[in-house]
Structure 1
Amino acid sequence: MKSTIKWTLAAGIAMFSASCSNFLDEKSLTRLDEGQVYSDVNLVETSLKGIYANWKGIRTDEQGLIPMMGTDETQQGALQMKSDASKGGLDRFDGNLNSSQGHITNQWNIRWPMVTEAAKIVKGLGANPVESGSREAKLLGEASFIRGFLDFQLAMYWGEIPISDPDRASEIGGHRQPLKDVWAFIIADLQRAADNCPKTNDPGRATSGAAWMMLGKAYMSAPVSTGLRDFAKAAACFEKMMGDYSLVPYKNLFDYATPNTAEAVLEFQFSPVYPNNNKIQFQIGSRAVQAFFGDGCYYSGYDKLVPTHYAYSSVDSGGVWEPGDQRRFEAIRYDFTYYGEVPNLDPLKWEDLGNDYDELLPHVKKYEDFRTDKHTENKINNMWNSGKNIPVLRLADAKLSYAECLNELNRGAEAIIVVNEVRARAWGGVLPEDKKWKAMSQDAFRTAILDERMRELFAEDWRRIDLIRTGKYVELVKARNKWTKQSGTIQEFNTLFPIPDTEMKLNPDITPADQNPGYR
């Protein structure tokens, strides 16, 4: 990417030079070293835009669903489990979940080029002191935020990871680093981002609010063994940003007509027009609907990811939903009636899924995009074009995270007040007395907040991280994920993904001896 950017920009600048003689007087831009490229704000801006484009690409198509598989909230559809044993390992936790698993390899590979490029920007702009509020400071903050965010995910999914720090490349190389060093590096990045990112920014780009929120998440997620988990510091980070945002009606968060609401801290920007569509609905809609009504029904798709029974059921049926919670029917589709017609499974019976047919069981609704429906005027007629914005960070998440910190700080009464603020929105603004959280033990709160986070943040890509950081991953996935329960093979080491085989072959600093325990 570096060489491509240098060549393209150098050629463009050369074309617009005032004259041949003037151009000949300039130092050849094609010979600029990295220090010059990544200290030039115009070149950095171009590089950063490329990183943002690639970053939101993580959440597109099937690859955007992989981290949500194998949780207690969402799981793969039945046909996917039957037809793709390798990917099925993400929910079964059997021998197919190994270092050669292609989908996990892709999750590793798509993040590292962005981490590396962001690291070069941080080095280039951070070589000299930057003036607060300057363009250099803004870009430094944004690059630090992206590296910190991606390293946060990598560390949550894989544990010890390499640290991309050009200043120490000769010292640490591409080796996996101790967890304490990794998390200290993440925290430093996010602190730099909080100090330098602008308060407001173009939609889809980092702000100081996003940086403070992620810094709070880092402090409450760092493994206890690192000595860096600090709920007091995390709470202080959330306090610095929450006042700049406000809760909006829940349905507005997932309405393409109201993107980037007052609650949005960071959203990835999409549209239903290729190549800026995200194709998520194409993957998560109902195959029975697709077979019956065709691609032009906006909630058709291929069952790549569906809610678990726990995630779509009411409390009295062994699930998470309480009567009257409006989030339930905004988050999950239960009714597949389409303009008066009801689909059936007949077109799919040849697949012989036994008792596992789930094509007309509840599906994820949040990413449905009616603009792709055949009844709309724009005639897109294909759910593949789905392109609603995808929330990355929003205020309700910050509030629930903050409440969790308060509970850990023995400030349970305050924590309950904050949670009830979020729950009031779920009941249309006025929380019934019997739905208000009241005094409970610290441990009871820990259990309850995980359910509340599922209700509020269902299918927003935070569940795996929530379960890992609270130490509940294996326990709850084994109890609630249908395929995990059937296989009975999940073990504690499955909390982390295996290091990809390709990484061990191509990176001389990571060998099979460095593999996460339990994997081959």
Structure 2
Amino acid sequence: MIMKKTLFTICLAGALLSTVSCKKFLTEDSLTKLDESKVYSDVNLIETSLKGVYSNFKNFRTDEQGLITMMGTDETQQGAFQMKSDPQKGGLDRYDLNLNSLLPHLANQWNIRWPVVNESAKIINGLEKLNAKAGTREGNLLGEAYFVRGFVDFELAMYWGEIPIRDISRESTLGFKRQPLKDVWTFIINDFTKASQLCPQTNTAGRATIGAAFAMLGKAYMSAPESTGLRNFDSARLAFEQMMGKYSLVAYKDLWDYTKSNTAESIFEFQFSPVYPNNNKLQFQIGSRAVQAAFGDGCYYSGYDKIVPTVHAYETVANGGIWEDGDLRKDESIRYDFTYYGTTPTLDPILWEDLGTNYDELKPHVKKYEDFRTDKHSDQKINNEWNSGKNIPVLRLGDIKLCYAECLNELGKTNDAVNVVNEVRTRAWGGTLPADKRWTALSQDAFRTAIMDERIRELFAENWRRIDLIRTGKFIEYVKTRNKWAKESGSLQAFQMLYPIPDVEMKLNDQITPEDQNPGYK
């Protein structure tokens, strides 16, 4: 919820992410009992506050909450047992009446973001008063705060549409109500523009740089709803051209090798380790129940099937899926074989689940976040997949090249767009792209279709799919036919591209009322 409780934390960086109303968070006194005028006028305290912001920002991608926005797409869906055991959360894939304003999983997604937005806004307000300039420590911090606020607002706007604008200097006029989409997206684009002017060229791993700012500025121009008049593929192209040369593609397998974190391709990634409290816990959620039943939590790819690939995302082209022979990304992204030290697990230990023909515990699973350091055979002796702690890429060059290619296509430069895609595909075939796998002349519409499957191949389970589907207008068409649970229920409607505003928000924030709810939801 929007929340005004200060996230500035000298020693409470994570403790202040309480789940109270947006408005309540925005009006409570700081737990630190420090005068805000002092906190946000002292660059050392501001930097401490910003570190807390980053800590809470990366927590978006931990544990089950890190998977919620990946549910209900044409790329990943909830596992069968999860759908049966938690019908309420099943609404995220079935798009039935359980997808409503009372769903706590969505309220949590709303709630965890607003404290980060609010604290970033306070940092920005403080540094603007200090007249922070580019090239100075204060200017760098201001650029980073713009980046974080812009990024989280970008997500909020993609998932919920109209949102409050957290600009402290205009709080008396803006209040805490939802603002028109054009104003929201103007604000987001302005944040990334300022971030691109102020962020440092290089930075500590896990913190924003000018490259990350330009990357998100490009994505914002591509994603702004057409109704706002702000979607501009040429501006996106220019933004991407400002930063792509600073990075280079690496071997695809290196992106998922925990000994090679923050590669030359990495633009921005969340930093984790297999040691609590800095583990991301993702493998605990995405591994296989059948593997867990057979080998225990000490097998690094056991888990609980919270999300699994759709058939479209794991099958070969010949079988109606996306994968072509020889594409190295396939086996780096998805686990097909569950044999563990010579033993192949069966479904026998979990037949009590009584799933009929829906057992998917030994069907393909997400592989990218498996962390062998947690395995009982690892020298580290962690012995529990819950401690998975690989870094999580947020922005990387492979993604941006494909975004750039989309821009070129929309600008009528489809041949150039095809060449850029072939750069990414060449990496996918180990550096030599077979002639029959090279994209050749495509129409503009054919490119639009082809690039969507290419983005799954390149970015499977990296949390961009929902946004890609929404911004391209493919959400309903693809989810209806490719997501098993949505297809079975037949309930998906266009209004469900956006999430409902949480009921608790409307009860605690008198500036967002039931009348302000997204159309289609009660």
TM-score range, shorter chain: over 0.9
Deviations 1:338-357 (A, max 9, x none): 00000000000111000000
Identify the residue that residue 66 of structure 1 maps to in structure 2. 68
* AA aligned opposite 1:232: D
Residue 36 (structure 1) shift = 3.4
Instruction: Find out whether 1:464 has 2:489 as its counterpart.
Output: no
TM-score, scaled to structure 1: 0.95
Identify the residue that residue 26 of structure 2 maps to in structure 1. none
Identify the residue that residue 79 of structure 2 maps to in structure 1. 77
Instruction: Report runs of 4+ in structure 1 exceeding 3 Å deviation.
Output: 1-9, 30-33
* AA aligned opposite 2:495: F
Match of 1:391, SS state, is strand
* Number of positions where the alignment pairs a residue of Structure 1 with one of Structure 2: 500
Give, in whole Å, the separation in 2 of the partners of 1:54 and 1:3. 13
Match of 2:49, SS state, is helix
Match of 1:270, SS state, is coil
Aligned partner (choices 228, 235, 238) of residue 236 of structure 1: 238
Give, in whole Å, the separation in 1 of the partners of 2:193 and 2:378. 46
Identify the residue that residue 441 of structure 1 maps to in structure 2. 443
Match of 1:142, SS state, is helix
Identify the residue that residue 129 of structure 2 maps to in structure 1. 127
Match of 1:107, SS state, is helix
Identify the residue that residue 216 of structure 1 maps to in structure 2. 218
Q: Kindly indicate whether the alpha-carbon contact (under 8 Å) linking 2:7 and 2:53 is maintained by their aligned counterparts in 1.
A: no
Instruction: Find out whether 1:285 has 2:278 as its counterpart.
Output: no
* Alignment of structure 1 residues 5-404 onto 2, 5 Å: 5=8, 33-404=35-406
Give, in whole Å, the separation in 1 of the partners of 2:439 and 2:10. 59
* AA aligned opposite 1:437: W
Q: Kindly indicate whether the alpha-carbon contact (under 8 Å) linking 2:7 and 2:52 is maintained by their aligned counterparts in 1.
A: no
* AA aligned opposite 1:325: D
Q: Kindly indicate whether the alpha-carbon contact (under 8 Å) linking 1:6 and 1:37 is maintained by their aligned counterparts in 2.
A: no
Give, in whole Å, the separation in 2 of the partners of 1:163 and 1:247. 36
Q: Kindly indicate whether the alpha-carbon contact (under 8 Å) linking 1:297 and 1:382 is maintained by their aligned counterparts in 2.
A: yes
Match of 1:58, SS state, is helix
**Cα–Cα, structure 1 residues 173 and 401, in superposed 2: closer, same or farther, change >3 Å?**
same
Give, in whole Å, the separation in 1 of the partners of 2:71 and 2:172. 37
* Alignment of structure 1 residues 490-505 onto 2, 5 Å: 490-505=492-507
* AA aligned opposite 1:313: E
Aligned partner (choices 501, 518, 521) of residue 519 of structure 1: 521
Give, in whole Å, the separation in 2 of the partners of 1:356 and 1:107. 28
Identify the residue that residue 27 of structure 1 maps to in structure 2. none
Give, in whole Å, the separation in 1 of the partners of 2:97 and 2:493. 12
Q: Kindly indicate whether the alpha-carbon contact (under 8 Å) linking 2:9 and 2:48 is maintained by their aligned counterparts in 1.
A: no
Give, in whole Å, the separation in 1 of the partners of 2:328 and 2:11. 51
* AA aligned opposite 1:463: R
**Cα–Cα, structure 1 residues 95 and 32, in superposed 2: closer, same or farther, change >3 Å?**
closer
Residue 39 (structure 1) shift = 2.4
Residue 33 (structure 1) shift = 4.2
Which segments of 5 or more consecutive residues in structure 1 lack a partner in the other structure? 10-29
Which segments of 5 or more consecutive residues in structure 2 lack a partner in the other structure? 13-31
Give, in whole Å, the separation in 2 of the partners of 1:34 and 1:344. 59
**Cα–Cα, structure 1 residues 2 and 351, in superposed 2: closer, same or farther, change >3 Å?**
closer
Residue 132 (structure 1) shift = 1.9
Identify the residue that residue 16 of structure 1 maps to in structure 2. none
* AA aligned opposite 1:219: Y
Identify the residue that residue 14 of structure 1 maps to in structure 2. none
Give, in whole Å, the separation in 2 of the partners of 1:376 and 1:34. 47
Q: Kindly indicate whether the alpha-carbon contact (under 8 Å) linking 1:158 and 1:496 is maintained by their aligned counterparts in 2.
A: yes
Give, in whole Å, the separation in 2 of the partners of 1:51 and 1:128. 20
**Cα–Cα, structure 1 residues 319 and 7, in superposed 2: closer, same or farther, change >3 Å?**
closer
Q: Kindly indicate whether the alpha-carbon contact (under 8 Å) linking 1:256 and 1:369 is maintained by their aligned counterparts in 2.
A: yes
Give, in whole Å, the separation in 1 of the partners of 2:197 and 2:95. 41
- RMSD, aligned CA: 1.3
* AA aligned opposite 2:250: V
* AA aligned opposite 1:203: A
* AA aligned opposite 2:49: S
Residue 131 (structure 1) shift = 2.5
TM-score, scaled to structure 2: 0.94
Q: Kindly indicate whether the alpha-carbon contact (under 8 Å) linking 2:7 and 2:119 is maintained by their aligned counterparts in 1.
A: no
Deviations 1:40-98 (A, max 9, x none): 11010010000100010110000000000000000000000000011000000000000
* AA aligned opposite 2:57: W
Percentage identity across aligned positions?
70
Give, in whole Å, the separation in 2 of the partners of 1:500 and 1:313. 36
| Larger Rg, first or second structure (1 or 2) | 1
Q: Kindly indicate whether the alpha-carbon contact (under 8 Å) linking 1:36 and 1:124 is maintained by their aligned counterparts in 2.
A: no
Give, in whole Å, the separation in 1 of the partners of 2:306 and 2:10. 40
